Structure formats: structure tokens, C-alpha cells
Amino acid sequence: MKTIKQIAEEIGVSKQAVHQKIKRQPLAVNVKPFTSTVDGAIYIENEGITLIKSAFEDINADRQRPLSVDVNEPSTIVNENRDNADYKPFPTVNEAVNGPSTVDVLLSIVKEQQQTIKELTTANRELTTAIENTTASLHAAQALHAGTMQNKLTNGSAKPNEETGPVRINWFQRIFKKS
């Protein structure tokens, strides 16, 4: 296990360059299983170090290749790389650690999220239906209560003062009550 600083010294780049490189995709997903943090320092296992070094070797190989610009051939470097059957821009996860490829990992994440969205949509529909049913019941209960009160008032079976209950007389009114 080595720190980012030790790896940077071996490769011959700055610590920040290594740190930024391992934060970008697809290297971030590939190196993550091989990292651990102890007392604020990030330690990377040998498999992760191999991945980081190979990422920087690809960059150094591109930098060391002479850049020739020919007006008649606008993409000389790209054509050289395509013609070379051994050229690989970046090692895949399967090549490095025999694990799932980045695309497979991302596809599984997308499938999980789609399933979660379907479940949430179904739950949302059920809750919306329940709210609509509850609202309809409340409206029906309010209409029934209003109709009942209207019938009592129009039939004379209830007087407006009787709704509040019997009228209470306090002791002062009892003493000075007019006979």
C-alpha cells in the first residue's frame, strides 16, 4: 500500500495530478475498491497503483510521440492509433482486475434507478387515489351535514338558539329577575 504522494513520486508527476486523475471516470470507479483512508491519508493497494500507473503511461506515451501535422492528412495521430491493433486508450476493469466493466456497473445502476422510479410512481398513484377518495368522502359528509341542518331549520324542529343548548341564568339574573 502506498500513499498518493508516493505514487506521484514514482510516476514523476505532482500529488495533485494523481489526486485529480483518480477522481475522474472511469479510473475513479476502478480504483475505489483498492483505496482506504487512515488518519486522513489515502492509501492505495497494489492493484490500484497498477491502474493509476497505466493511466499515466498512456498519457506519457501520447506526449512522447512526435506530433506531425500534415495538411493533407488532418488526423495522422488518430489514424496511427486506429491502425495499431494493440492500441488501447485505457485499460478496462476486466483487464486490470477481472471485475465488471464500468459500462456494466453503470447499466446496473441505471436499472436499479429505473426500478425505484417505477415503484415510487406506483406508490404515488395509490396515494393520489386514496387522497381523492378521502376528499370525496369529506365532501359527501359536509353536504349531508349541511342538508340535515337545513331541514331542521326549515321544518321548525330546531330553533337557532337551541343549537347552542339551554340558556343558563347566572345568580345575578336570578335575584333581579322581573316577575
Would you say residue 95 has pLDDT above 60?
no
> pTM higher than 0.75 for the full model?
no
pLDDT at res. 71: 47
pLDDT at res. 79: 46
The residues spanned by each domain of the chain are 2-99, 100-155
Residues 105, 29: Cα–Cα separation, whole Å? 9
Q: For residue 111, what pLDDT band results from cuts at 50, 70 and 90?
A: very high
Q: How big is the CA angle at 37 (ends 33 and 40), to the nearest 5 degrees?
A: 155
* pLDDT tens digit sequence for 115-124: 999 999 999 9
Q: For residue 78, what pLDDT band results from cuts at 50, 70 and 90?
A: very low
Q: For residue 77, what pLDDT band results from cuts at 50, 70 and 90?
A: very low
Average pLDDT of span 49-66: 71
**DSSP string across 5-64:** HHHHHHHTS-HHHHHHHHHSTTHHHHHGGGEEEETTEEEE-HHHHHHHHHHHHHHHHHHH
Place of cell 341542518: 149
Place of cell 337545513: 150
Fold of 2-99: Multidrug-efflux Transporter Regulator; Chain: A; Domain 2 (1.10.1660)
Report, in angstroms and rounded to the nearest whole number, the Rg of the chain calculated over CA atoms. 39
**23: nearest Cα among 14, 34, 32:** 32
pLDDT at res. 114: 94
